[in-house]
Structure 1
């Protein structure tokens, strides 16, 4: 039998913020987002999509390596060729943020270790207690700046860190690398680890397009008057559309879904989705393409991007966790030259 007191526990409140934002600030905010898993574009009143739209996303590859030794991330050749040059994104997979050890490397060159108490104590590196385990102290966070001048071969901090990292149990990881020059192939990182003896698996982006016909879609008369409630209703409609939910109001049901007002009829709505492993730069490039190819769209354009549930960080270096509201994502709404940003973050409520 469950304790009656459980009924009095409130669920962690999901953090939702929305506001009109200028273009430069919008891209600055997007650049703080780490490890994108899903990107969705919704285009109402659109009949054709140019073939080259989103081509970079569709053709981008990422790689999976099983039983990877973290010590190989801090060798002198790797730091020189893939950390100091280009942008590397790496994330452990098949790990749960609430009870397993997790690792990541952000595009800013930060190695992030999310460790249980026993692993942290045996590792020997400096760290801090996880915000979400501040009371029980069962989780610890270690951050290593791989681009720091102090983290160079031959220096005490480097040699000690390298020795400690080699003690860690191997991880399954996914990674992608964006080279500093177009002449350099992104697959260079795959060859590097293949030469070290790792079996490297190429992962392909899953791309899906669909068209919804004869729909009533919400209208945004003025972004200056688009408040949290209106944006939340709009995003709910986007979600219903993307999952294929019924948007037709049924009078024979007690409870039914109603399309946000004001609304208008449109013949076609294009929905494009990419699923895989992306960086915030990929999202920014896609939004800039939207401006070029669909700048004259008379209604609005929307881009939704979502992170991984078990990522150590999502926004900047702020710690993330998976609890009951661990989903994280953002929606960018574009109307003409105006931008509106909606942020969804996990709760900061600590574990009891």
Structure 2
């Protein structure tokens, strides 16, 4: 085996156990801080058809818009700026920009505009920033964070004019972007679409796909047992199994198979059927939370399975992971989280990042 493949990059996995009804539960905070989500996977053992109420929530996810060659300075202009600052729930992410090679831009619902820039771009813009946490010996990337809700960045102030001049006149950065705004009733008339209309936005809806798995070996999970009843059922083993199921990788680990060594953690049982549902697109944290709330109600009526799983994947090339915490790429760029929801409203939460990320909150 290649020495490069034998090296296992450092990763961070934070695990929590709580109950959704616990007043100190932070599940809503964790969901809200994971700003940029491109895929949701739901696994429900002993289920063959996606329940209508869950399908309805997914079908009502907010649309998102793809805009080509969008000038970054437009985010500080007139109505877009006002919408970001006053209404919130607006997310934007530069598309097809690589966090380890290109300039990447992100707008958070908190009103923070994050620019991850190479050294040349940073020096040309002349904006105040800091070296990236993941530079090598010399600083080659810089992070500029602009809080659009800061009074010193209000239109008409000297700082606002300086920032606008840098992005519009000194170095007019333009990129393809993804935009979304959580539907709260205010955007049902196409407000965000109208704001972007001069750049001919293309509207998309998150795509839902589901299929039924048969004769699936599943771990036997208990709410009180976050670390597993045996050493083979620790969080890493569970997530590896879950990933293999999502990718349709055989977990039997047959003696004559050299393709996969993934196995279902013990103790386990074989379920006759399981529903695997995937949603892909530019998905807001608010929509993820609505889906989580609906999944919690799945157990309101008696079910054969005592648990179900929700996995949310973040964009590999987003400049942030949780909140405004800087995200790096290195080898995989992974940043995701997983809820295991139990019928008694207990849950496990796994939050995972790669080597170039801070510890999840």
TM-score by shorter chain over 0.5? yes
* Aligned residue number for residue 234 of structure 1: 238
CA distance in 1, matches of 2:201, 2:71: 13
Whether 2:56 is the aligned partner of 1:43: answer no
Q: CA deviation at 1:313?
A: 0.2
CA distance in 2, matches of 1:114, 1:98: 9
Checking the alignment, whether the CA contact within 8 Å between 1:219 and 1:299 is kept in structure 2 is: no
Deviations 1:201-220 (A, max 9, x none): 11232211010112221111
Aligned to 1:347: 355
* Pairwise CA distance, 1:11: 4.8
- Contact 2:311–2:337 under 8 Å retained in 1: yes
Deviation (angstroms), 1:8: 12
State the partner residue of 1:322: 329
Once the two structures are superposed, residues 29-53 of structure 1 have per-residue CA deviations (whole angstroms, 9 ceiling, x without a partner) of 2221120010000000124432231
Judged with a 3 Å threshold, the aligned counterparts in structure 2 of structure 1 residues 162 and 286 are, in CA distance, closer, same or farther, namely same
Measured in 2, the distance between the counterparts of 1:190 and 1:222 equals: 44
The alpha-carbon distance between structure 1 residues 117 and 256, as it changes in their structure 2 partners (threshold 3 A), is closer
Question: Given the superposition, is the C-alpha separation of residues 93 and 83 from structure 1 closer, same or farther in structure 2, using an over 3 Å criterion?
Answer: same
Tell me which residue corresponds to 1:149: 151
1:42 is paired with a residue whose SS is strand
CA distance in 2, matches of 1:222, 1:151: 48
Distance 1:130 1:225 in 2: 35
Partner of 1:300: 307
CA 39–267 in structure 1, closer or farther in 2 if over 3 Å, else same:
same
The TM-score normalised by the length of structure 2 is 0.88
- Give unmatched runs, 5+ long, in structure 1: none
TM-score of the aligned structures, taking structure 1 as reference length: 0.90
State the SS of the aligned residue for 1:132: coil
- 2:338 pairs with 1:331: yes
Of the three residues 177, 186, 191, the one matched with 1:188 is 191
- Do the aligned partners of residues 343 and 186 (structure 1) sit closer, same or farther apart at CA in structure 2, a change above 3 Å counting? farther
Measured in 1, the distance between the counterparts of 2:285 and 2:129 equals 27
Contact 1:177 1:189 survives alignment (8 Å): yes
Q: How does 1:19-30 map to 2 (within 5 A)?
A: 19-23=16-20, 24-30=25-31
- Spell out, residue by residue over 1:13-33, the C-alpha distance to the aligned partner (whole angstroms, 9 max, x if none): 011222313433122122211
8 Å CA contact 1:123–1:168 kept in 2: the answer is: no
Equivalent in the alignment of 2:205: 204
Tell me what 1:87 maps to. 89
The CA deviation at 1:349 is 8.2
Q: Does 1:221 pair with 2:228?
A: no
| Cα 1:66/1:237, change in 2 over 3 Å | same
- 8 Å contact from structure 1 (residues 91, 105) kept in 2: yes
Question: Is the contact between residue 82 and residue 189 of structure 1 (CA under 8 Å) also seen in structure 2?
Answer: no
Distance 2:296 2:247 in 1: 25
Q: Provide, for residues 39-88 of structure 1, a one-character-per-residue CA deviation record: whole Å limited to 9, x for no partner.
A: 00000012443223143433431001111111111013222234321310
Q: Residue 312 of structure 1 corresponds to which residue in structure 2?
A: 319
SS of corresponding position for 2:192 = helix
- Supply the RMSD in Å over aligned alpha carbons: 2.5
Shift of 1:149: 2.1
